[in-house]
Amino acid sequence: MYSENITLMPLTTDHALAYFNQYQLTDIQQLTDLPRFANVSEVCEWIKEETAVKNSYNFAIDLPVTGFAGFVNLTVSEHAAFFGIWLGEKFQGLGLGTQTGRLICHHALQGCISVIFSAAFLSNHRSIQMLKKVGFETLSVRADTPHDDRVFFIMTNDPSIKLNGNFELIDYYRREQLPFTFPKDD
């Protein structure tokens, strides 16, 4: 996938060194639910494992001059996908996250995906702002402790899915057997 300023390339072990170097800066590790990596070899192993997962689409965000700028992922489960992104410290605040999110989410919604979810830590105001610029809307559901420090988002063109967004998100987490639980009345 290509946009005016960015190219999304399938993430390969060729990106491992740049991934590791960018990922170690600032608080990126604390603001994602991705593993913590002690070295480039661990990043290589993780990329190999992720590549083997059929429903996980991982891309390097590549810029024409500087190269690797960050990582974006869509994890698909039936008709739904979960969107995740991070940018290296020097690439934050430039609109690249919004541009990347619009590119990949628009592409997914034009295909077989009817709803896309995302999440951000409540304290991560930059990510929340970026997700809203991409077109995500806030869901009212909150996860149980210890994951209650996140806000969840939805993007869909289907009004019935939007109306049942909380249920759709919870159903996604259950199908994928993710370690989050949600209050029973949601």
Strand partners, 151: 120
What percent of the chain is modeled with pLDDT above 90? 78
From the list 87, 62, 45, the residue with the least C-alpha distance to 1 is: 62
> What distance in Å separates the CA atoms of residue 10 and residue 180, rounded to the nearest whole number?
28
Q: Is 30 exposed, middle or buried (0-12, 13-18, 19+ CB in 10 A)?
A: exposed
* β pairing state of 115-121 and 7-10: unpaired
DSSP-H helix ranges across 53-146:
96-110, 125-134
Average pLDDT, whole number, for the chain?
A: 92
pLDDT tens-digit profile of 121-139?
999 999 999 999 999 999 9
- Tell me which CATH homologous superfamily contains domain 7-175: Gcn5-related N-acetyltransferase (GNAT) (3.40.630.30)
pLDDT tens-digit profile of 149-185?
999 999 999 999 999 999 999 999 999 999 999 997 5
Residue 1 binned pLDDT confidence (cut-offs 50, 70, 90): low
Model pTM?
A: 0.92
pLDDT on residue 33: 74
Radius of gyration of the chain (CA): 16
Strand partners, 115: 80, 156
Residue of 61 and 2 predicted with greater confidence = 61
pLDDT tens-digit profile of 6-34?
999 999 999 999 999 988 766 776 677 77
> C-alpha distances in angstroms, 183 versus 149, 166, 170?
14, 11, 10
Before 146, cis peptide (omega within 30)?
Answer: yes
pLDDT on residue 28: 72
